[in-house]
């Protein structure tokens, strides 16, 4: 079997760089996500050190990375708990849609875009990055916080909304009829409801099947990953996010199955998650950013504020205090993979809209985790700060 020397060299260099950046981020008690994104920008086309041989591997690994991020996140919860949270946050989903899609639609209209461009930009500003936020909540040890179910409910409801939005956008961009658009939306939403129903009523049987004959860690890893990738692929085939499929698999596993799956999957998740964040940066050309940076910055500021309002409202419905509401709002700021996908659907990646979205995504994907790290954190008493060498304390559940 012949393996490309260039591929091995570039991958080795990439992993070494990511390791150094991760260590640097942890040294200052930060999430490594912004540094991974900036590394991707530097290593992409037009960057200071392009890695063309590693590009296909990174692109494939990025898809696996977001699936693993949402799978492991789903393992932290159960389907009944999450179903209750989803019902509670249907009003939050309406607030989210109105507050965050409107700025994109207005911006698209002011820029003179056609219907598909306006629709795409509305989707870009509406949906947060499930992949980035899932990793961020783990990095900041906030999975057990009071406001976290609200954040996850908003994210999943956004992904459910995308199940209807993406077929609609595809038909509009292709010049199809309203009947074709309606049919695509109904099929996708039906697939989502069917998948969630299966997970709710029969998901417990999946855990028993995966633990059949007491598999060793290797066998368990192969079983869980295999099932998850199949479900994610089926979800993607009907225009539902692969992340939703992976999240539902994670929700279906409880008790011993969830505990063992989390142990064997965590190292693999960390590897491919780093590749995922790198890939977002690689997809953006630095040369295209400067001309559209002012417009992207203005749109980023406006929609960062609307996301904070969304998270504040959702966390209040969950009974979180003011700090928890602020943490929830800032956690939702980051945009990422879905925004880039939508621009690809309308075929404008190379024009001004593509450049605008690339700059917008990069700004919020980098700034979101940084803002979240410091927003709502509990103040450290002076004596405790001196004892800890100035390291900020982790945020509590309030």
Domains of the chain: 7-376 (1.20.1530.20)
Pick the closest to residue 149 from 31, 269, 259, 311 (CA basis).
Answer: 311
CA separation, residue 259 to residues 20, 167, 207, 211 (Å): 30, 36, 11, 11
Residue in 340, 318, 359, 388 with CA at minimum distance from that of residue 149 = 318
pLDDT tens digits, residue range 241-262? 787 788 888 888 888 888 999 9
The Cα 265–Cα 128 span in angstroms is: 24
Residue listed under structure tokens 């916080």: 145
Beta-sheet strands, E only, within 76-120: none
Q: How buried is 242 (Cβ within 10 angstroms: 0-12 exposed, 13-18 middle, 19+ buried)?
A: buried
DSSP structure string for 302-360? HHHHHHHHHHHHHHHHTT--HHHHHHHHHHT----HHHHHHHHHTT-TTSHHHHHHHHH
C-alpha closest to that of 108 among 369, 289, 348, 384: 348
Both tokens of 170, joined, read 């595809």
| pLDDT in the model for residue 294 | 92
**CA gap 304, 323 in Å, rounded:** 17
The whole-angstrom separation of Cα 125 and Cα 103 is: 7
Average confidence score pLDDT of the chain: 83
Token duo for residue 83: 């179903």
CB hemisphere CA count around 383 (13 angstroms) = 0
CB atoms within 10 A of CB 76: 19
Ranges in the chain, pLDDT < 50: 348-350, 380-397
Q: pLDDT digits over 307-362, tens only?
A: 999 999 999 999 999 999 999 999 999 987 677 767 666 654 446 787 888 889 88
Rounded distance between C-alpha atoms, residue 132 and residue 283, angstroms: 16
Tokens of 361: 């995504």
């Amino acid at each position: 079997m012949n393996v490309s020397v260039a591929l091995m060299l570039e991958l080795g260099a990439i992993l070494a760089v990511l390791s150094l950046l991760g260590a640097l981020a942890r040294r200052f008690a930060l999430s490594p996500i912004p540094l991974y994104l900036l590394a991707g920008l530097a290593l992409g086309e037009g960057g200071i050190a392009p890695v063309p041989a590693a590009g296909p591997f990174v692109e494939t690994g990025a898809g696996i990375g977001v699936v693993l991020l949402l799978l492991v996140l789903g393992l932290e919860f159960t389907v009944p708990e999450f179903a209750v949270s989803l019902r509670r946050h249907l009003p939050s989903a309406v607030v989210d849609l109105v507050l965050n899609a409107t700025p994109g639609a207005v911006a698209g209209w002011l820029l003179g875009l056609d219907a598909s461009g306006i629709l795409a930009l509305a989707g870009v500003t509406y949906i947060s990055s499930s992949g980035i936020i899932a990793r961020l909540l783990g990095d900041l040890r906030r999975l057990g916080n009071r406001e976290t179910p609200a954040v996850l409910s908003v994210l999943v409801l956004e992904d459910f909304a995308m199940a209807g939005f993406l077929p609609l956008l595809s038909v509009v961009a292709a010049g199809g009829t309203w009947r074709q658009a309606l049919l695509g939306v109904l099929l996708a939403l039906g697939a989502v409801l069917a998948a969630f129903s299966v997970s709710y009523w029969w998901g417990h049987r999946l855990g028993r099947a995966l633990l059949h004959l007491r598999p060793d860690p290797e066998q368990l890893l192969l079983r869980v990953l295999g099932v998850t990738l199949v479900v994610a692929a089926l979800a993607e085939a009907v225009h539902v996010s692969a992340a939703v499929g992976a999240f539902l698999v994670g929700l279906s596993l409880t008790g011993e199955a969830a505990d063992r799956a989390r142990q064997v999957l965590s190292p693999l998740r960390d590897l491919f998650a780093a590749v995922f964040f790198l890939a977002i940066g690689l997809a953006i050309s630095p040369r295209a950013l400067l001309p559209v940076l002012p417009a992207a910055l203005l749109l980023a500021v406006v929609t960062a504020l609307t996301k904070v309002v969304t998270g504040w409202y959702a966390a209040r419905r969950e009974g979180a205090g003011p700090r928890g509401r602020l943490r929830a709002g800032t956690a939702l700021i980051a945009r990422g993979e879905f925004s880039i996908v939508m621009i690809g659907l309308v075929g404008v990646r190379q024009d001004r809209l593509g450049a605008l979205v690339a700059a917008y995504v990069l700004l919020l994907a980098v700034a979101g985790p940084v803002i979240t790290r410091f927003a709502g954190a509990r103040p450290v008493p002076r004596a405790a700060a001196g004892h800890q060498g100035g390291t900020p304390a982790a945020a509590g559940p309030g």
